[in-house]
Chains A and B, each alone.
Chain A
Amino acid sequence: MKHADRISSVFFFLLGIAVLLKGLRFGLELNQTVGPGFFPFAAGIILCLLSFVLFIQPQMRPRPLAEKKFRINWAGWKGVLLTLLALGAYPVFINSLGFLLSTLFLLFFLFRAVARLKWQTVGVAGIIAAGGAYLIFEIWLKASLPRGFLGF
């Protein structure tokens, strides 16, 4: 985790810099009180300091006994990326396709492409889940879920 910590500390350091610069632009003072930029500015500085400490920490301290290992299981990444893709696409399409359709597609995709289930299972599970969700949320709870171009 030592090297991973180094990487993440650099990321946070840069984030801190970006934030504090933005904070400066918003203005630190505003007639008798602090301005909109003060909070981000202060937070940005603190973040930079902390990231710096994190970066040099391995030098300062001897290795603690319980050290978490940084692991990546590359085989599993396909699943993660596909899922993220599906999840990201869902809000984009939900208004145009409507709740029922987009949910169906999402479920089919997840069940099939990620979970790799057989088509029968995919179909049955997808329909039950999407239909069930529709029933519970739209009909019973009257949650006003989006309707697509098909009108439902």
Chain B
Amino acid sequence: MDLLHGLTYAFSVTFQLNNLLFAFVGCVIGTLVGVLPGIGPVAAISLLLPTTFRGDVVSGLIMLAGIFYGTQYGGSTTSILVNIPGEAASVVTCLDGYQMARKGRAGPALGMAAFASFIAGTFSIILLTLVAPPLAKLGLYFGSPEFAAMAVLGLTLLTSLSSGSMVKALMMATAGLIVGAVGVDPGMGTPRFTFGIYELEDGVGLAPAAMGLFGIAEVLANLEESLEGERTTLVEKVKGLLPNLQDWKDSAIAIIQGTFTGFFIGVIPGGNSIIASISSYALQKRISKHPEKMGTGAIEGVAAPEAANNAATGGAFIPLLTLGIPTSPVMALLLGAFMIHGIVPGPLLIRNNPDLFWGLIFSMYVGNIMLLILNLPLIGMWVKVLKIPYKILFPLILLFCLIGAYTLNNSPVEVGVMVFFGFVGFLMKKFDYEPALFILALVMGPILEESLRRSLALSGGNLMIFLHRPIALSILLFSFLLLVSLPITRMIRKRSELTSQER
């Protein structure tokens, strides 16, 4: 079915009233879910899965896709407002987003996050429709060595995220790798560092750790500083609710870059929105005119990762729809949803269920528009929420985190983990360590270990396997170059600063 035919078909499917309704409902729920820390898209989709049985297949799946996108949008909201990543991909948004909020620029930050997400999401869907089939085959070229190389790349990029001491940044990344090893080891199943707690056998969850390190720690730090005197920072006069012209000029390149980076990484199996947002942020730091500003509240630091993680979402649908390969737990869930309805995604999907395929694609586009329209007016509301006196606000923030942590697995253990990391995060703040790198290393460590061990098992213990695989090799070389380029560029910059000072 050629493109034009497909699009008109999609049009007709999407614009049926009930499908639009489903898309809208999905977006609303998704946004809500994204805003509430802890309840991630996985939980939301699984809760609503049964309701999709009632309606017809396409409508149900449109709603689920809406939820998925919605959570991306919602997750950025909490990252910016209270420094709690709504979900993993939003961690990077915290870096500059929260700083912007502290400077009274929460509105523009939220706005730019929404716009960047929209532009990137739209573009990625267009790209999706154009290049889906050829790119799908790419998935098959990616084996364990490639995954390992991607993980190495991701970890290398992490170092670019730090705005402080390099040594401390590396220590945080290493600590993240160590904590990532908590749980059952990927090859053999031997429990490591679980202290006899069965719930830890699956590892330290990203969500409770992130909520603790970012959210709880932030609250504790604020409590320590002062509760009596109003926290001056967030109550500062909010300067405008939307990004201004200067903001747009600063972010333009970031958005374009984020879109392409994110889409590309989303398509690659093993790439997900986390790696996408990290890569985009790191890349932006390299090409930015004012890299030193990133990390302190630069709007490009919000635009780039936000664009990237939405573009990655679009890209991630490709392996799912064309090959039936889910690249992340959420995708696996959507795959499950497909299967309940008796639909087998794969190369035959476009042929067998064209209404589903095109309808889904198009509804994503419509969903993006809906989300933008939904989120913009909410910005004003969110800003008002910030004005609630902190004395009353902070227990509510804590409560949301507690509930969020509990509902992850219906277990108080996750809550305990979160509180523990809250304490740790508080200490980290005092001793000036950056939690973002820790969290991201926590996620990527297991991927690296699993792929590396499997690569070695495949090659019979021979590290040379990496040399024999061009894709993996190039990724590794690229990572190496990145790694050495950072200190070199810093040195060059320092030299030019010194020489310009001397003049």
A–B direct contact (CB < 8 Å): yes
Q: Which residues of A contact B (CB under 8 A)?
A: 1, 4-5, 7-8, 12, 15, 19, 22, 26, 30, 32-36, 39-40, 43-44, 46-47, 50-51, 53-54, 57, 68, 70, 72-73, 76-77, 79-80, 83-84, 87-88, 90-92, 94-95, 103, 106-107, 110-111, 114-117, 121, 125, 129, 133, 137, 141-146
Residues from chain A with a CB closer than 8 A to the CB of B168 are: 5, 54
Q: A33-B461, A34-B452 are in contact. Are A87 and B190 (CB under 8 A)?
A: no
Given known contacts A54-B171, A115-B227, A144-B410, is B398 in contact with A87 (CB within 8 Å)? yes
Contacts of A1 in B (CB 8 A): 431-432
The interface residues of chain A lying within 8 Å CB-to-CB of B219 are 83
Q: Compute how far the CA of A43 lies from the CA of B410 in the bound complex, rounded to whole angstroms.
A: 32
- Contact check, A87 vs B402: say whether CB atoms are below 8 A apart: yes
State A107–B432 Cα separation when bound (angstroms): 30
Query: Do most interface residues of chain A lie in helix, strand or loop, or is the interface mixed?
Result: helix
The 5 closest A-B pairs by CB, nearest first: A91-B412, A76-B224, A32-B461, A91-B415, A36-B185
Instruction: Find residues 394-431 in chain B having any chain A CB closer than 8 Å to their own CB.
Output: 394-396, 398-399, 402-403, 406-407, 410, 412-413, 415-416, 419, 422-423, 426, 430-431
Choose one: A35, A114, A144; the contact of B227 (CB below 8 Å).
A114
A6 → chain B, closest Cβ, in Å?
A: 10
B125 within 8 A of A: no
Alpha-carbon distance A137/B403, docked complex (angstroms): 9
The listed residue (A46, A54, A73) touching B224 by CB distance below 8 A is A73
**Cα distance A40–B461 when bound, in Å?**
19
A91 in contact with B416 given A32-B457, A47-B171 (CB within 8 Å):
yes
How far apart are A140's CB and chain B's nearest CB, in angstroms? Answer: 10
Interface, chain B (partner A; CB < 8 A): 39, 47, 165, 167-168, 170-171, 174-175, 177-178, 181, 185, 187-188, 190, 192-193, 216, 219-220, 223-227, 391-392, 394-396, 398-399, 402-403, 406-407, 410, 412-413, 415-416, 419, 422-423, 426, 430-433, 445, 449, 452-454, 456-457, 460-461
* Residues of B close to A39: CB separation below 8 A: 177, 181, 445, 449
Q: Which of A26, A40, A76, A115 contacts B395 (CB 8 A)?
A: A115
Does B181 contact A40, Cβ atoms closer than 8 Å? yes
Give bound CA distance, A30 to B66, whole Å: 45
Complex contacts, B433 vs chain A, CB 8 Å: 8
Q: Is B403 a contact partner of A133 (Cβ separation < 8 A)?
A: yes
- Judging by beta carbons under 8 Å apart, are B223 and A79 in contact? yes
Question: B352 to nearest A CB, angstroms?
Answer: 34
A12 — which chain B residues lie within 8 A by C-beta? 171, 175
- A-B pair count, CB < 8 Å, reads 172
Q: Which of A47, A117, A142, A144 contacts B175 (CB 8 A)?
A: A47
**Interfacial chain A residues near B396, Cβ < 8 Å:** 129
Task: Report how far A101 CA is from B39 CA in the complex, Å.
Answer: 21
Residue pair A26, B223 in contact (C-beta under 8 Å): no
Our pick among B174, B193, B415, B432 for the contact of A94 (Cβ within 8 Å) is: B415
- CB-contact partner of B422 in A35, A84, A137, A141, under 8 A: A84
A34 & B431 in contact (Cβ 8 Å cutoff): no
Chain B nearest Cβ from A132, distance in angstroms: 9
Q: Pull 27 A–B residue pairs with CB atoms less than 8 Å apart, ordered by A.
A: A1-B431, A4-B430, A12-B171, A26-B190, A33-B453, A34-B456, A36-B188, A39-B181, A40-B178, A40-B192, A50-B170, A70-B432, A76-B224, A76-B226, A77-B224, A83-B220, A91-B402, A91-B406, A91-B412, A94-B412, A94-B415, A110-B395, A115-B394, A115-B395, A116-B391, A129-B399, A133-B403
Q: Are the C-beta atoms of A91 and B413 separated by less than 8 Å?
A: yes
Pick the contact of A43: B181, B391, B394, B431 (CB < 8 A): B181
Neighbouring B residues of A68 by C-beta, 8 Å: 432
**In the complex, are the beta carbons of A142 and B456 less than 8 A apart?**
no
- Taking a contact as CB atoms closer than 8 A, the residue among A7, A46, A70 that contacts B174 in the complex is A46
Q: A70-B431, A72-B224 are in contact. List 18 more A-B contacts (CB 8 A).
A: A1-B432, A12-B171, A33-B187, A33-B454, A35-B188, A40-B181, A46-B174, A54-B165, A76-B223, A76-B225, A76-B227, A80-B220, A91-B416, A91-B419, A94-B415, A103-B399, A114-B395, A146-B412
Q: Beyond A4-B432, A94-B406, A133-B399, is A19–B223 a contact (Cβ under 8 Å)? A: no
B263 to chain A, nearest CB (A): 31
| Assembled-state Cα–Cα distance A15/B192 (Å) | 15
Across the interface, which residues of A come within 8 angstroms of B394, CB to CB?
A: 110, 115
Q: Chain A contacts of B181 at CB under 8 A?
A: 39-40, 43
